Chain A
Amino acid sequence: MARKLIIDGKEIEAEDTLTLLQACEQAGAEIPRFCYHERLSVAGNCRMCMVEWVGAPKPQVSCSLQVKDIFPNKDGTPAKINTNSPVAKKAREGVMEFLLINHPLDCPICDQGGECDLQDQAMGYGRANFHRFHENKRAVEDKYMGPLIKTAMNRCIQCTRCVRFATEVAGVPDLGATGRGEDMEITTYLEKAFSSELSGNVVDLCPVGALTSKPYSYNARPWELKHTESIDIMDAQGCNTRIDTRGRSVLRVLPRLNEEINEEWLHDKGRHIWDGLGRQRLDRPYVRKNGKLQAASWHDAFALIAAKAKATKPERMAAIVGDLAAAEEIKALKDLMTSLGVINLDCRQEGATLGGARPSYLFNTSIAGVEAADALLLIGCNPRWEAPVLNARIRKTWLAGALQVANLGLAVDLTYPAAELGTDIATLEALADGSHPFAEVLRNAKRPMLILGTGALARKDGAAVLYRAAKIARETGMIGPAGTAAEGGWNGFNVLHTAASRVAALDLGFVPGPEGRDVTGIIDGAQKGEIDFIYLLGADELPLETMGRPFVVYQGSHGDAGASYADVILPGSAFSEKDGLFANFEGRVQEAPRAVFPPGEAKEDWAILRALSEELKHPLPYDTLEALRRVLVAELPQYGALGTLPRHEGADPALWGALGAEGPLAIDVPLAAAIGDYYLTNAIARASLVMADCSRILLHDGQTKMAAE
């Protein structure tokens, strides 16, 4: 039902389900607010959003007044709401006066200054040159909330957004408001750290400077910063971000609104790795001489690689793509290696058996599509760590209705209840043949889905796991008609990747050729002396210590594991320093443009490969990034349609019946976690002191891990 309202003289029809504040916004009015937030429950405690309902005795709190409760005037004309009348303005001025009684007004030393809701709204509703309170302001002790959140509780105006976020969205009810009245305090239980992977979002939500970012504290003022709209690549979700820079340094990362991907949240790793972008950088080429890495010129480094490559047969060469590479350099490396005749190519560092048809390795339901699901089977994945923002979406779906979740894998607190099916892989067999009770739940569900994690795919029997997952998907009605979830199509078969580069690399076919070796084969081959030359494109998560001594070229941005085994280091760019395309686990391609320039002599990665190809006498057929992208789009048209979701093509027995291999499951190997430490999953995160702090305090009880361990 809708009813008519006259808002600021403009007649509109507002749905009954809306609040008056939303109706006012539909009418184009701007309503000030502190406690109201569209993604949180309505608290109605700041009183800043008051408007005048003509005829009502008092101003009305628009955020908590529902349209359905607004009755028309006695003569039948629609109710008149004024958002800018003297009554509304006076009410808000009164609220502002109350809020400022106890607010310290220490804006000059407050990190929120310049982007503070209270500051902004005081410009509109503060009473200038007028105050009548001479008492002391209240003083509140600052609280400890962990390594990421800095508190200045004198500034708190008790909007409780942070408490509601922690309880509702993050699902980690660590925050609360103790005491009451003037003595109310926002705190964690007895100074415990706020242990959520989404904790940084409370800093964005805080309308004042009570909760600010600890790593960013006193670093910059918002008006000094240059903003670049970018993509987060710390996991494979592709959360939309904004990188704030000053001069040559990245100073912070903030989330950007994208309803289809991250709503307006960002996980802590994506938000706080920026200090890792400036540490442990490879800023010039190195060449190993007499067992030691020594600084070299680009020319010398290339010459050495060329000499080595010339002397090595293609079947004794290999290339591995790491977790943070953009599509452009993967394409360039693939073309270069193919032109040299190398077939030992792989991008699946963890050893998952994926590749081939695109839907077989994508998150087909799409992130927003999760909200339509009513049954969910997790297989060997922990979305809370592998994609925290996706996990918030699953929790949102569970909160909204009847989502039934079962977890086949390590039992963890997912922030929503899940039937724990254990780590025994034999249970997957029972699910696949339909004898398990949860198979019945999936069959009865309207829109069932499963998420297949790296923990299940990166096993020796990964192909058998994939086969059974596809069987479950086929036989419980997960593969529906064509179209997006919004169009009535449904595809509940999902693979959850943990690396931002993986989908692009699989799209480009960076997998071994028919006779080629995969990652395990390459490392084994190197150990046995059958592989002499390995090209690592930012690949650090490999058991490199076991591979003997082949000639290793490491191209990447950070001095991590890969670089320490390298014979030649080519300094590349981090994601913030180059224009790069990344495909997220949905298969959605997005661009992360350059925010700053790479340090020292480091270059854009595709350009390094282009230059090297010249040296190897197999020049790549593109001289500019635009030319490279044209080649890329010609091969994969979806890389030209940025931001769009691949459309589900419907049930195709040929595809869904042929996934994986029927072979036996390795019954004696329990399912394991894909990620050992959420905060330290890649080279940038491992270089970040903030992430090291988080890992130590939040995951290891404050104990520093010794280097020898």
Chain B
Amino acid sequence: MSVRRLHEIQPESFAFSEANLARVQEWMAKFPEGRQRSAVIAALWIGQEQEGWVTKPMVEEVGRLLDMPYIRVLEVATFYTMFYLAPVGKHHLQVCTTTPCWLRGSDEVVKACKKHIHDKPHTVSADGQFSWEEMECLGACVNAPMMLIDKDPYEDLTGDKVVEIIEALRRGESPKTGSQIDRHTSEPVGGRTTLTKEEA
């Protein structure tokens, strides 16, 4: 974790697309009159889907839309690391480096990202395709080490596997999500050891 601030270079303006505005309004309608600001996370999330990251004009647009002071929107945007405050690549890799993943070799994953994307986290690769960052626990410790690409988890990683996934994404393919070894979800490696057959 580090101090999260809005990016230095900001676009001039932001407006929700018609479809996205309808989605935001759908969220606003879910809350009682006068509590529209409860939709702030949803609104920022939809905005991020549209723009790729949370921009200053977006923070202000959301503030106007939900009738809340800009500082309140900024508080939310800086609190949650799921909101990107700087431009990200087409694919954004969030590498878990919390203790279980670290013990299981997340250093290798980070090394691969550094080599094949960019030396520094939060920086878009030369071809604009990728960016990466270190992330706190994403709740898949049993499949450590793991990372999240966009909205999908990739688990049981090694350095080489990460390179393969990056290259596949670069070619425009959709690599298999979930565990990257011969393993079904979080079952034991090498297959089940208990409850192997159905008993009455």
Residues of A at the B interface (CB closer than 8 Å) are 173-183, 185, 187-190
Chain B residues whose C-beta falls within 8 Å of the C-beta of A177 in the assembled complex: 75
| Contact for B70 among A181, A183, A189, CB less than 8 A | A189
Contact with A along B142-185 (1 / 0, CB 8 A): 00000000000000000000000000000000000000000000
Contact with A along B55-76 (1 / 0, CB 8 A): 0100000000000011110110
On whether the beta carbons of A182 and B71 are closer than 8 Å, the reply is no
Chain A residue with Cβ nearest B80: A180
The verdict on B19 contacting chain A, using a C-beta distance below 8 Å, is no
Chain B residues whose C-beta falls within 8 Å of the C-beta of A187 in the assembled complex: 71
Chain A residue with Cβ nearest B63: A189
Given the complex of chains A and B, what is the CA–CA distance between A348 and B71 in angstroms? 43
A-B contact count (CB 8 A): 41
Can you pick out 18 interface pairs between chain A and chain B where the beta carbons lie within 8 Å of each other? A173-B72, A174-B69, A175-B71, A176-B69, A176-B71, A176-B75, A177-B75, A178-B74, A178-B78, A178-B79, A179-B4, A181-B1, A183-B1, A183-B3, A189-B69, A189-B71, A189-B74, A190-B70
Chain B residues whose C-beta falls within 8 Å of the C-beta of A178 in the assembled complex: 4-5, 74-75, 78-79
The verdict on B196 contacting chain A, using a C-beta distance below 8 Å, is no
Given the complex of chains A and B, what is the CA–CA distance between A56 and B3 in angstroms? 38
> At the interface, is chain A mostly helix, strand, loop or mixed?
mixed
Give B90 Cβ to nearest chain A Cβ, in Å. 27
Count of chain B residues near A, Cβ 8 A: 15
On whether the beta carbons of A176 and B72 are closer than 8 Å, the reply is yes
Give B14 Cβ to nearest chain A Cβ, in Å. 15
The verdict on B46 contacting chain A, using a C-beta distance below 8 Å, is no
Give A170 Cβ to nearest chain B Cβ, in Å. 12
Given the complex of chains A and B, what is the CA–CA distance between A185 and B6 in angstroms? 14
Interface core residue of A173, A178, A190 (most chain B CB under 10 Å) = A178
On whether the beta carbons of A190 and B2 are closer than 8 Å, the reply is no
Residues of B at the A interface (CB closer than 8 Å) are 1-6, 56, 69-72, 74-75, 78-79
Given the complex of chains A and B, what is the CA–CA distance between A128 and B72 in angstroms? 40
Given the complex of chains A and B, what is the CA–CA distance between A486 and B186 in angstroms? 69
In the complex, given contacts A178-B78, A179-B4, what are 13 additional A-B residue pairs having Cβ atoms less than 8 angstroms apart?
A173-B72, A174-B69, A174-B71, A176-B69, A178-B74, A178-B75, A179-B78, A179-B79, A181-B1, A189-B71, A190-B6, A190-B56, A190-B74
Give B56 Cβ to nearest chain A Cβ, in Å. 8
Given the complex of chains A and B, what is the CA–CA distance between A178 and B3 in angstroms? 9
Chain A residue with Cβ nearest B69: A173
Give B12 Cβ to nearest chain A Cβ, in Å. 16
Chain B residue with Cβ nearest A141: B3
Chain B residues whose C-beta falls within 8 Å of the C-beta of A173 in the assembled complex: 69, 71-72
Chain A residue with Cβ nearest B81: A180
Known A-B contacts A185-B3, A190-B6; the reply to A180 vs B71 at CB < 8 A is no
Chain A residues whose C-beta falls within 8 Å of the C-beta of B1 in the assembled complex: 181-183
Chain B residues whose C-beta falls within 8 Å of the C-beta of A176 in the assembled complex: 69, 71-72, 74-75
Known A-B contacts A185-B3, A190-B6; the reply to A180 vs B72 at CB < 8 A is no
Give B40 Cβ to nearest chain A Cβ, in Å. 13
Given the complex of chains A and B, what is the CA–CA distance between A189 and B74 in angstroms? 8
Give A11 Cβ to nearest chain B Cβ, in Å. 43
Known A-B contacts A181-B1, A183-B1, A183-B4; the reply to A188 vs B78 at CB < 8 A is no
| Contact for A188 among B4, B5, B71, CB less than 8 A | B71
Chain A residue with Cβ nearest B56: A190
Given the complex of chains A and B, what is the CA–CA distance between A182 and B3 in angstroms? 9
Chain A residues whose C-beta falls within 8 Å of the C-beta of B69 in the assembled complex: 173-174, 176, 189
7 pairs of A and B residues whose beta carbons are closest in the complex: A176-B71, A178-B78, A189-B71, A173-B69, A189-B70, A183-B3, A176-B75
Chain B residue with Cβ nearest A139: B3
Given the complex of chains A and B, what is the CA–CA distance between A181 and B69 in angstroms? 22
Give A395 Cβ to nearest chain B Cβ, in Å. 16
Give A669 Cβ to nearest chain B Cβ, in Å. 35
Given the complex of chains A and B, what is the CA–CA distance between A187 and B70 in angstroms? 12
| Contact for A183 among B2, B56, B71, CB less than 8 A | B2
Given the complex of chains A and B, what is the CA–CA distance between A180 and B80 in angstroms? 8
Given the complex of chains A and B, what is the CA–CA distance between A179 and B77 in angstroms? 8
Given the complex of chains A and B, what is the CA–CA distance between A181 and B78 in angstroms? 11
Given the complex of chains A and B, what is the CA–CA distance between A187 and B1 in angstroms? 19
Give B186 Cβ to nearest chain A Cβ, in Å. 29
Chain B residues whose C-beta falls within 8 Å of the C-beta of A188 in the assembled complex: 71
Give A399 Cβ to nearest chain B Cβ, in Å. 14
Give A186 Cβ to nearest chain B Cβ, in Å. 10
Given the complex of chains A and B, what is the CA–CA distance between A320 and B70 in angstroms? 48
Given the complex of chains A and B, what is the CA–CA distance between A456 and B69 in angstroms? 32
On whether the beta carbons of A180 and B74 are closer than 8 Å, the reply is no
Chain B residue with Cβ nearest A173: B69
Given the complex of chains A and B, what is the CA–CA distance between A173 and B67 in angstroms? 12
Chain A residues whose C-beta falls within 8 Å of the C-beta of B75 in the assembled complex: 176-178
Chain A residues whose C-beta falls within 8 Å of the C-beta of B79 in the assembled complex: 178-180
Chain A residues whose C-beta falls within 8 Å of the C-beta of B6 in the assembled complex: 190
Given the complex of chains A and B, what is the CA–CA distance between A189 and B73 in angstroms? 10
Given the complex of chains A and B, what is the CA–CA distance between A189 and B76 in angstroms? 13
Chain A residues whose C-beta falls within 8 Å of the C-beta of B72 in the assembled complex: 173, 176
Given the complex of chains A and B, what is the CA–CA distance between A175 and B70 in angstroms? 10
Chain A residues whose C-beta falls within 8 Å of the C-beta of B5 in the assembled complex: 178
Give A43 Cβ to nearest chain B Cβ, in Å. 14
Given the complex of chains A and B, what is the CA–CA distance between A188 and B3 in angstroms? 15
Chain A residues whose C-beta falls within 8 Å of the C-beta of B71 in the assembled complex: 173-176, 187-189
Given the complex of chains A and B, what is the CA–CA distance between A177 and B71 in angstroms? 8
Given the complex of chains A and B, what is the CA–CA distance between A189 and B1 in angstroms? 21
Given the complex of chains A and B, what is the CA–CA distance between A177 and B3 in angstroms? 12
Chain A residues whose C-beta falls within 8 Å of the C-beta of B56 in the assembled complex: 190
Interface core residue of B1, B71, B75, B78 (most chain A CB under 10 Å) = B71
Chain B residues whose C-beta falls within 8 Å of the C-beta of A181 in the assembled complex: 1
Chain A residues whose C-beta falls within 8 Å of the C-beta of B3 in the assembled complex: 179, 183, 185
Chain B residues whose C-beta falls within 8 Å of the C-beta of A183 in the assembled complex: 1-4
Give A143 Cβ to nearest chain B Cβ, in Å. 12
Given the complex of chains A and B, what is the CA–CA distance between A703 and B168 in angstroms? 57
Give B78 Cβ to nearest chain A Cβ, in Å. 4
Give B147 Cβ to nearest chain A Cβ, in Å. 22
Given the complex of chains A and B, what is the CA–CA distance between A182 and B74 in angstroms? 17
Chain B residues whose C-beta falls within 8 Å of the C-beta of A179 in the assembled complex: 3-4, 78-79
Chain B residues whose C-beta falls within 8 Å of the C-beta of A189 in the assembled complex: 69-71, 74
Given the complex of chains A and B, what is the CA–CA distance between A178 and B6 in angstroms? 11
Chain B residues whose C-beta falls within 8 Å of the C-beta of A182 in the assembled complex: 1
Give B179 Cβ to nearest chain A Cβ, in Å. 31
Chain A residue with Cβ nearest B77: A178
Given the complex of chains A and B, what is the CA–CA distance between A173 and B73 in angstroms? 12
Chain A residues whose C-beta falls within 8 Å of the C-beta of B2 in the assembled complex: 183
Given the complex of chains A and B, what is the CA–CA distance between A571 and B72 in angstroms? 51
Chain B residue with Cβ nearest A187: B71
Chain B residues whose C-beta falls within 8 Å of the C-beta of A180 in the assembled complex: 78-79
Chain A residue with Cβ nearest B75: A176
Give A281 Cβ to nearest chain B Cβ, in Å. 41
Give A202 Cβ to nearest chain B Cβ, in Å. 14
Chain A residue with Cβ nearest B4: A179
Given the complex of chains A and B, what is the CA–CA distance between A274 and B79 in angstroms? 40
Give B57 Cβ to nearest chain A Cβ, in Å. 12
Chain B residue with Cβ nearest A182: B1
Given the complex of chains A and B, what is the CA–CA distance between A182 and B70 in angstroms? 23
Given the complex of chains A and B, what is the CA–CA distance between A96 and B1 in angstroms? 24
Give B86 Cβ to nearest chain A Cβ, in Å. 15
Chain B residues whose C-beta falls within 8 Å of the C-beta of A174 in the assembled complex: 69, 71
Chain B residue with Cβ nearest A176: B71
